[in-house]
Structure 1
Amino acid sequence: MRYPFILIALLIILCSCNNQLVVSRVEANNISNDSLVMLSDADVAELVAPYRENLEGDMSRVISISNDDLVRAKPESELTNLVADILLETGVAFCQFANHDFMPDVAYMNYGGLRVALPKGEITVGHIFQLMPFENEMVLLKVSGETMEQFVQQIALRGGDGVAGMRLGIVDGRIGHLEVDGKAFDVKKDYWVVTNDYIAAGGDDMSMLANRKKFIETGLKIRDIMIERLELEHQRGRQIQGILDGRIYYE
């Protein structure tokens, strides 16, 4: 289900600030290359200039300031933690907005989905497009405790990933310790995971998520969520402060 203006509403819930528009789609039409209608290079340049300038202007818009370089690393990193935290907070806000009777327990952002580091200093829209070049959407999954255990085991096997809402101790590529929402993991319980549609479809060796009990689309691009959230925090005078809190560690 698509919720009109839902991203704006979620950000109001999260930050109580004004929203900003973000480029979400660029449409183009073919121009017939007829021998009787030929445009010079100068004509073409003049034709596309307003569109190029608008796009370049948006990409160069400063949306945040970072105190440090944010580089992905394992078992955890300031970059993966930042993205996962924003994903979990937005998932909670979505459920509140949609009047769901549950809240996500865990957020997951795959390591490979973050393509570059974010630099120290000014962060622009373009930086977020480089960080997340894919059109991934935020989704919610209800999984059994057994599926959750298989899912977290895959995270442990690869030595860490982007997570929020859990604390995972890894021993020789296996789960040594696992807490969800501050409580000991219970294989008999069901859990809600907020992640991207690529992972939900079994991408990046997460095929166990095909055994989910429920699946909810949000229609929200994770890249847009990041841009809007960082920009709103910037307007409130808050800089990006990386966090390492031991949410994933080697025992």
Structure 2
Amino acid sequence: MTLKPLYFLLFALVILGCKPDNWQLNRIEGKQISVSDSLKSDSKIDSFIQPYRIHVNKELDSVISYAKDTYSKSDGELNTAIGNLFADVIYEQTNPIFKSRTGHDIDMVLVNHGGIRAIISKGNITIRTAYEIMPFENSIVVVAMKGSSVNQLIDYLLMAKRPHPISKLNITVDSDFNLINASISKKPIDPERVYYVATNDYLYNGGDSMTFFQNNEDVHILNYKIRNAFLDYFIKTDTIDPKIDNRFIKLKN
């Protein structure tokens, strides 16, 4: 038997082995698996997680304050008790931090009505309550804006006709939503003055079409989550009793 055919075979295998593969992806196939109660639990995993679940639930159910009534974001036309609480808490908890860093006071607060994700029920307020009303990781930012940009902010609120939470800002409109008066801390808005407006990072980045925040002089990132502001406020406040007031009202004919 001659070895030549064997040499040729080995040579061909080497050449083929050195040839680069030209593989291409033709299609991707997937299968949807719905997550529901029909999925069987793993008893070993459940047993492992159970002690942590008990500990977390115990912490979340710790009572930190008390609510005199039940508060919902649907209980007012242009301002609500829970919305007013939302904005006022941001001001009260954030202003000392901001002033210590910059020497300036926050002039007003604006956050979004849709950011309130649950009611506050009458009775005990727990840590879980703060997570329910603010389940997102939104942080507080303070935007330096000229009065002319604040006027754009007010125009937005007049068009929206929703009870977006505000603090230190007062707006009065007529029955057709024509502006009668707008003021910050009971003073007229100066188009050339710089105002420091506290909001959240979602709105600062244009959420809910609030693009006026981008026309700013400066922005201060406080690294303070809204949820943490609520937790700090609830812990130091024995009883909450927010009210609907006159910070944004419509006059009747």
Per the shorter chain, which TM-score range?
0.7 to 0.9
Match of 2:212 in 1: 208
Match of 2:44 in 1: 43
8 Å CA contact 1:68–1:121 kept in 2: the answer is yes
Match of 1:24 in 2: none
Q: How does 1:1-251 map to 2 (within 5 A)?
A: 41-72=42-73, 73-98=76-101, 100-159=102-161, 160-171=163-174, 172-234=176-238, 239-251=239-251
Question: Whole-Å Cα distance in 2 between the matches of residues 124 and 192 of structure 1?
Answer: 32
What is the Cα deviation at residue 241 of structure 1? 0.9
Post-superposition CA distance 1:48-94 (Å, at most 9, x none)? 12221121112211121111111113311110111111111122111
Question: Whole-Å Cα distance in 1 between the matches of residues 99 and 214 of structure 2?
Answer: 26
What is the Cα deviation at residue 164 of structure 1? 0.5
CA RMSD of aligned residues (A): 1.5
Give every structure 1 segment of 4 or more consecutive aligned residues whose post-TM-superposition deviation is greater than 6 Å: none
Matched residue of 2:209: which SS? coil
Question: Whole-Å Cα distance in 2 between the matches of residues 187 and 132 of structure 1?
Answer: 33
Task: Flag structure 2 segments of 5+ consecutive residues without an equivalent.
Answer: 1-40
8 Å CA contact 1:91–1:103 kept in 2: the answer is no
Q: Taking structure 2 as the reference length, what is the TM-score of the superposition? A: 0.78
What is the Cα deviation at residue 41 of structure 1? 3.3
Q: Taking structure 1 as the reference length, what is the TM-score of the superposition? A: 0.78
Task: Flag structure 1 segments of 5+ consecutive residues without an equivalent.
Answer: 1-39
Question: Whole-Å Cα distance in 1 between the matches of residues 69 and 171 of structure 2?
Answer: 25
What is the Cα deviation at residue 174 of structure 1? 4.0
Matched residue of 1:68: which SS? coil
Q: Percent identity?
A: 25
Matched residue of 1:76: which SS? coil
Match of 1:14 in 2: none
8 Å CA contact 1:142–1:214 kept in 2: the answer is yes
What is the identity, as a one-letter code, of the residue corresponding to 2:172?
Answer: G
Question: Whole-Å Cα distance in 2 between the matches of residues 189 and 174 of structure 1?
Answer: 24
Question: Whole-Å Cα distance in 2 between the matches of residues 174 and 69 of structure 1?
Answer: 32
Number of residues of Structure 1 aligned to a counterpart in Structure 2 = 207
Question: Whole-Å Cα distance in 2 between the matches of residues 191 and 224 of structure 1?
Answer: 25
Question: Whole-Å Cα distance in 1 between the matches of residues 50 and 236 of structure 2?
Answer: 30
Higher Cα Rg, which structure: 2
Matched residue of 1:204: which SS? helix
Q: Which segment is superposed worse, 219-228 or 56-65? A: 56-65
Question: Whole-Å Cα distance in 1 between the matches of residues 104 and 93 of structure 2?
Answer: 14
